[in-house]
Structure 1
Amino acid sequence: MKKEGTIFKNLDGFVLVTTFFFLWFAISFGDSVEDIVAYFLILTFGILHGANDLKLIQTSNSNAKKKSSFLKVSSYYVFFILICASLFYFLPSLALLTFVLFSGYHFGEQHWSSKFKRRSKATLWFYSSYGLIVLSLLFVSHTIEVNTVIENITGHYIEPNFFSYLLFFNIGLFAILYLLLKKNRSLESNWIREIFYLVVFLVVFKTASLLWSFAIYFILWHSLPSLVDQIKFLYGGITRKNIILYLKTSLIYWAISVIGLLVLFLFFGRDSNTFIAFFFSFLAAITFPHVLVMTRLNK
C-alpha cells in the first residue's frame, strides 16, 4: 500500500515534467513528426483509457447488486456508438457541438472530481466550464486549423472571435463557481497551482501543432490519470499484475477501435485535413458512451 501511495503522489509531477519534455519535442521537431507521434499516443494510451468501459459497467453493476450479461451490456454499448456515429453523418453540426460539450464536461470531471468534498447542481457547470476553458485555449491557439476541421465536418465556418468569446465566458463562469464552491467548503484545491496549469496549457498549445497540442493534454492530463483511476477501481491498486489484467480485458475493444481508424486512414490518409476531421469524428463516437460510463462511476 505504501508503494501505491507513492505512485499516486508523484503522478502530477510526472505529468508536468513529461509535458515540458513534450514541449521541447514540439520546439525541436516539425509538425509532421509531431503528428506521427501524436497519432501513436492517441491510438495507444488515448483509446486504451476508454477501452475497458464494458468491464467498468459490469463491475459497477456487480457492486450495485445488478447483474448484467456481457452480451447485453456490449450490445447496448455498440448500439449507442453506432447512433453517435450516425449523428455525424445526418446531423454533423449538432453532433460536433454535443461532442465539444461532452468533452468539456468529461475533461473537467476527470481533473476536479477527486477535489470535491460534496457535490451539488453547480458541479456539472463547474466541470463543464473548466473543460471548455481548456478546449477554448486550444481553439484560440489554432483558429485556422480548428476552423478547417469544423468546415470538413459540418460545412460551416466559425468566426474566429467566437472562440475568444467562448474562452472569456467560461473563465468568468468558472471563476464565479470556484469562489462559491470554496466559500461553501465543497472544494479543496490550490488556485495558484490551477492557474499555473492553465498557463502551461496555453504555452503548449501556442507552441505545438493542433494535433500534438491535443495529444499532450488528452494523453498526459486526461487519459493517464483516468487509467490510474480505472485500474484502482477495478483491481484495487496500481501493480504490474493489475496493469496486465487491465490490458487483457481491454484488448479486444482497443483492437477494434485501432483497426477502424486504420481503415479510415487507408481511405482518407492522403488528404490530411479530411482525415483529421474523420479522426475526431471517430473519437467523438467512442467518447460519448465513455463519458456516461465515467460519470456513472464518479457518482
Structure 2
Amino acid sequence: MMSKAKIISTIFIICLSLFPLNNIDIIIAVFLILSLGLVHGACDITLISTKLNTSSIKIKTGFIILYVFIAFLSFTIVYSLPIIGFISFLLISSYHFGEQHFHKKLSNSKLKFYHFLSYGSLIFLIMIETNKKSVYEILKPILNIEMQTVPIQMMLYIFSSIIILLWVIDYKNLKFSILKEIFNLIVICVLFYETGLIVSFATYFVIWHSVPSIYDQIEFLYKKVNLKTLLQYLKKSGFYWAISIAGLTILVLKGDVIGESFYRVSYSFLVSVTIPHILLMTKILSKSN
C-alpha cells in the first residue's frame, strides 16, 4: 500500500514539474521539507524515553545530554573539517536512507550493512549526477573545492554493480521483488532527471524516507498505526517541530550577520541536528526486526 502511494506521489510531483505553474512544484517541495521532513525528526526525545523504558530521570537526562553532545560535536567537526565532515555525513546519511528503505526487507540478511550503505549511496549519486550544476554551486562555498574533479559517474556505475552483486549473492534473504525495486529506482531516476535539486531531494526525502520513518516511529511508540496514534505522534512532535522552524527562521533572518560563513554554518547546523537522529533511528530499526 505504502509502496503504491510513494510511486503515485512521485509521479504526481514529476507531472507538476513538467507543467510548472508559478513554481508550484518548488513551493510544494519546500512545504514538504518544513512539515513532514522536519516532523519525522522532531520526536526523538519521546523515542529516547520509550527506547530506554525507564522512569529514571537521571538516565533520561544523561541520554538527552549525550544526544546534545553528539549534535554539538557533529557541528564542530563539519564546520572545522568541511571535507571530512561532508564525506562522513554523506556515508552516514546513505546508510540511514538505505536502512529505512530495506530494514524490514532484509531482516534476515547478514549483509544488510552493505545493502543499506550501497543503496543509500546510489540514491545520492543519482541525485548528484542528474543535478550536477546545482550541487556544485551549493557545495563550492561550503567545501572550497572543485567538485568537477570527483568521478561521480564512475562511482555511480560501481555502486550499481555492487547492489546487483549483493542482490544476487543474498537472493535467499531478500524479502522483496528485485524487479519491483528496479522499477522503484527507475521512477526515482526519472524524478531526479526531470526535476531540479530542491524538488528531487524534497520528494525523495519526504515521500520515500520521512513518511515511512514516521510510520515506523509510530509503530515503535504505540505498537499500531491509526489516526489516533498519528495524532498522538504529531502532538508529541509539535513542540520540537516549532523549535526547529524557529531555529531555521532565525538562521535565515540573521544570514547577513553571519556573513560569508552563512552557508557553512547553515549546513553544519543541519548536519548537527541530523546525525543524532540517524544514530537513534539506527538503534531503533535494528531492534524492530
Taking structure 1 as the reference length, what is the TM-score of the superposition? 0.87
Moved more, 36-45 or 14-23: 36-45
The equivalences for 1:30-179 within 5 A come to: 32-62=23-53, 69-120=59-110, 122-159=111-148, 162-179=151-168
Change (3 A) 1:31 1:268: farther
Q: Distance in 1 between matches of 2:22 and 2:269?
A: 22
Confirm whether residue 243 of structure 1 aligns to residue 234 of structure 2: no
Contact 2:17 2:195 in 1 (8 A): yes
Q: Report the Cα offset of residue 74 of structure 1.
A: 2.0
Change (3 A) 1:145 1:277: farther
Contact 1:261 1:282 in 2 (8 A): no
Q: Report the Cα offset of residue 69 of structure 1.
A: 4.0
Give the residue type in structure 2 aligned to 1:79. Answer: F
User: Unpaired runs of 5+ in structure 2?
Assistant: none
What SS does the corresponding residue of 1:114 show, helix, strand or coil?
Answer: coil
Number of aligned positions between the proteins: 283
Q: Distance in 2 between matches of 1:233 and 1:88?
A: 31
Q: Deviations over 1:29-50 (max 9, x none)?
A: 2685433332221111011111
Q: Deviations over 1:96-155 (max 9, x none)?
A: 1111111110111011111124132x2211111001111111000011111111112111
Change (3 A) 1:153 1:33: farther
* Divergent runs of 4+, >6 A: 273-277
Give the residue type in structure 2 aligned to 1:293. Answer: L
Q: Distance in 1 between matches of 2:97 and 2:178?
A: 18
Contact 2:142 2:263 in 1 (8 A): no
User: Unpaired runs of 5+ in structure 1?
Assistant: 1-9
Give the residue type in structure 2 aligned to 1:103. Answer: S
Query: Could you tell me which residue of structure 1 aligns to residue 248 of structure 2?
Result: 261
Q: What is the RMSD computed on CA atoms of the aligned residues?
A: 2.3
Match of 2:184 among 186, 197, 219: 197
Q: Distance in 2 between matches of 1:263 and 1:166?
A: 38
Contact 1:141 1:206 in 2 (8 A): yes
Q: Distance in 2 between matches of 1:32 and 1:285?
A: 30
Taking structure 2 as the reference length, what is the TM-score of the superposition? 0.90
Query: Could you tell me which residue of structure 1 aligns to residue 199 of structure 2?
Result: 212
What SS does the corresponding residue of 2:104 show, helix, strand or coil?
Answer: helix
Give the residue type in structure 2 aligned to 1:115. Answer: K
Contact 1:34 1:209 in 2 (8 A): no
Query: Could you tell me which residue of structure 2 aligns to residue 181 of structure 1?
Result: 170
Give the residue type in structure 2 aligned to 1:35. Answer: I
- Identity level (%): 31
Q: Distance in 2 between matches of 1:50 and 1:107?
A: 14
